[in-house]
Structure 1
């Protein structure tokens, strides 16, 4: 499994707008066959800070997701909403609880 973790922080006053834009991705990504998890989280300690936890079956699935038109469109929408550059990190799943 390939895991991507992305964190982003909204400009002050744009928190709700950023959340709406990020949530709009979920129905589209849900249709991707190689996406195992795509979870949006909101920080309890920092207003306007969001984290996406994404899990893909393999690098090919992540590559597919990365080239979708709706992801490219998301990046255009994010630019005016973000207070700073998003942090994106890739991980390899080592162990997990499966239910």
Structure 2
């Protein structure tokens, strides 16, 4: 299994639109990516910082996620809300 933690810092005041776009992406990932086992957005104590937890069966499933049309389409839209590049950690499960 592959685990991913992505820290997403958004522009102030974009929470509603950001969360709606993430929910749309989450629904597509869960419906269309059989290698994805977890795709969950979490709020933090900072209103502008979110954590996305992801889990994939293997590296191929992670690569399929990154190449998926819905990820590319909605990922571009998410760029409108981000205050900088996501801080992404990819880990191999022990």
Question: Are 1:15 and 2:15 an aligned pair?
Answer: yes
Q: How many angstroms does 1:63 deviate by?
A: 0.8
Quote the Cα distance in structure 1 between the aligned partners of 2:40 and 2:47: 18
Larger radius of gyration: 1
Measured in 2, the distance between the counterparts of 1:51 and 1:73 equals 20
TM-score calculated relative to the size of structure 2: 0.91
Shift, 1:12, TM fit = 0.9
Counterpart position of 2:29:
29
- Higher helix residue share: 2
Report the number of matched residues: 93
Q: Which sections of structure 1, spanning at least 5 residues, go unmatched? A: 95-99
RMSD across aligned positions (CA): 1.0
TM-score of the pair, normalised by structure 1:
0.87
Q: CA deviation at 1:49?
A: 1.1
Structure 2 counterpart of 1:38: 39
- Deviating runs (4+, > 6 A) in structure 1? none
**C-alpha deviations, 1:37-72, integer Å up to 9, x for none?**
1111111x1012111110000001111111001110
> What stretches of structure 2 of length at least 5 have no aligned partner?
none
Provide the rounded CA distance (Å) in 2 between the counterparts of 1:78 and 1:25. 10
Summarize the alignment of residues 1-99 of structure 1 with structure 2, pairs less than 5 Å apart: 1-31=1-31, 32-43=33-44, 45-94=45-94
